[in-house]
Amino acid sequence: MTDATPGGAGGSVRGWGDGTRSVRAGEPAPQPGAPLRPSPVFAAPYHLGDLPPRSGGADAYARTEHPTLRVFEAAVGELDGGRCLSFATGMAAVSAAVLAVTGAGDRVVLPADGYYTTRLLAREELERFGVRVEYVPTLEIEEVAARGDLAGAALVVLETPSNPQLDVCDIAAVARATRAAGAVLAVDNTTATPLGQRPLDLGADLTVGSDTKALTGHSDLLLGHVSTTDDRLYARLKAFRDHTGGTPGAFEAWLGHRSMSTLDLRLARQAATAAAVAELLAAHPAVTGVRWPWRAGDPSARLAARQMLRPNGVVSAELADEAAVGRLLAASRLWTAATSFGGVHSTLDRRAQWGGDAVPAGFVRLSCGIEDTADLVADLAAALDAL
């Protein structure tokens, strides 16, 4: 196994703070007269001249090599601590992480309570190719690993904190077990973001992100990525992306790189609001089951404090039923009914309406945006009192 060196042409930014890293990651070394931030390159084919394709680092065709993608990938790789490949969507990234390293007859272990489309991928695609899929809840995977029950698995996927219930599992403990079993460990790090958690540093082989969400954070693009420190896994994933065509467009990659510059600032505001929202919800008689892993008393609080680097802005809770959620939204002026999370707008999503999560009808996921915390709390308090 060979360590792939992260970083862009400007050198590593790992020693700097989160704000500096968010802004500077992936930037080339400054040159007089060059743009401060690289512009997107809109091209599919490139001049070959008399050179054979892909010789001497020359670009040939945008599906397999593209300068704007390399800039975005260098930036995300800096934050992840690995070598990054970008994909058109988060599910394209998840699919690559799963399909590139498994085959017919392989055993794959997935989170039973993670993002439901990952389970759909397994049930409707993996199983028809003869892949044996098992589902383990996030809170049970560490015990399963400790018992040695991961022996014979080709791939183990974690999602921590899980989406939407926000359970946390011990990545390092599971990584030790998967390494002993000869399995690949992939961690969906979407909820935490690369600033909130670094799975590769904790022993994971792959870290996966839906960059549609908090990493880019403006609810205006689809994007995903996979990062690794293993050259062989990187080459396999790169070949899979080249063959299947999951490459993102230049504009999306450029917009993603531009948007992630404010990740540190956005996370700070979102986390501050989430702390206040979680306390408000926990104190209100119309609400039960409040979850935010950084709230004192949360079942995952101790592990989150030890494993994660900083909190985020996603809170989950339960209202009485579907009608109560509807009344809450009708009474609110700032909390918008919408799916996804991590954006600059504050949203509330009743998860049962999508049919993929085993949650009660009144279960909601609140994504705190970057509006003023006091305004969001006051608006939510008034809407809750209207119940």
Beta strand 83-87 with 224-228: parallel, antiparallel or unpaired?
antiparallel
Rounded mean pLDDT of 189-195? 98
Strand stretches in 175-248, DSSP E: 184-188, 206-210, 224-228
The answer, yes or no, to whether residue 2 has pLDDT greater than 50, is no
* Closest alpha carbon to 336 in 356, 350, 355: 350
- Angstrom distance (rounded) from CA 360 to CA 76: 36
Does residue 14 register a pLDDT over 70?
no
- The predicted pLDDT at position 72 comes to 97
Helices (DSSP H) in 230-316: which residue ranges?
A: 231-244, 250-259, 263-283, 301-307
Strands 347-350 and 314-318: unpaired
- CB within 8 Å of 308: residues ≥ 6 apart: 168, 192, 196, 197, 293
For tokens 């990740």, the residue is: 263
Other C-beta atoms closer than 10 Å to the C-beta of 55 total 9
The C-alpha angle with vertex 1 and arms to 71 and 100, in degrees rounded to 5, equals 65
Model pLDDT, residue 6: 38
Alpha-carbon gap, residue 113 to 359, rounded angstroms? 10
- How is residue 230 annotated by DSSP? B
pLDDT-derived band at 56, boundaries 50, 70, 90:
low
Q: How far apart are CA 303 and CA 168, in angstroms?
A: 7
Q: Which amino acid is at 68?
A: T
Q: How much is the mean pLDDT over the chain?
A: 94
Q: What is the pLDDT of residue 28?
A: 85
* Region 250-255 average pLDDT: 97
How large is the average pLDDT for residues 196-213? 98
**What is the structure's pLDDT at 357?**
84
Residue 31 parent element (H or E): none
Domains contained in the chain, CATH given = 18-262 (3.40.640.10), 263-385 (3.90.1150.10)
pLDDT at res. 54:
67
The per-residue pLDDT for 5 is 37
Give the per-residue pLDDT at 12.
53
pTM, rounded to two decimals:
0.94
Q: How confident is the model at residue 11 (pLDDT cuts 50, 70, 90)?
A: very low
Dist CA 14 CA 179 (whole Å): 26
**Whole-number Cα distances in Å, 83 to 12, 56, 170, 230:** 12, 20, 23, 8
User: What is the distance between the alpha carbons of residues 207 and 228, in angstroms, rounded to a whole number?
Assistant: 7
pLDDT in tens, 140-166: 999 999 999 999 999 999 999 999 999
Token pair 């990187």 is found at: 234
- Pairwise pLDDT comparison (48 vs 175), residue with the higher score: 175
Residue 347: partners with Cβ closer than 8 Å, 6 or more residues away: 335, 336, 337, 338, 339, 340, 341, 366, 367, 369
Residues 256-293: tens digit of each pLDDT: 999 999 999 999 999 999 999 999 999 999 999 999 99
Say what the alpha-carbon torsion angle 360, 275, 195, 246 is, to the nearest 10 degrees: 30
Q: In whole angstroms, what is the distance from residue 269 CA to residue 255 CA? A: 21
Number of Cβ within a 10 Å radius of residue 224:
28
pLDDT reported for residue 38: 86
- pLDDT-derived band at 57 (thresholds 50, 70, 90) equals low
User: Which two three-digit tokens encode residue 387?
Assistant: 């119940």
Label residue 222 by pLDDT band (50, 70, 90). very high
Closest Cα partner for 210 from 299, 64, 314? 314
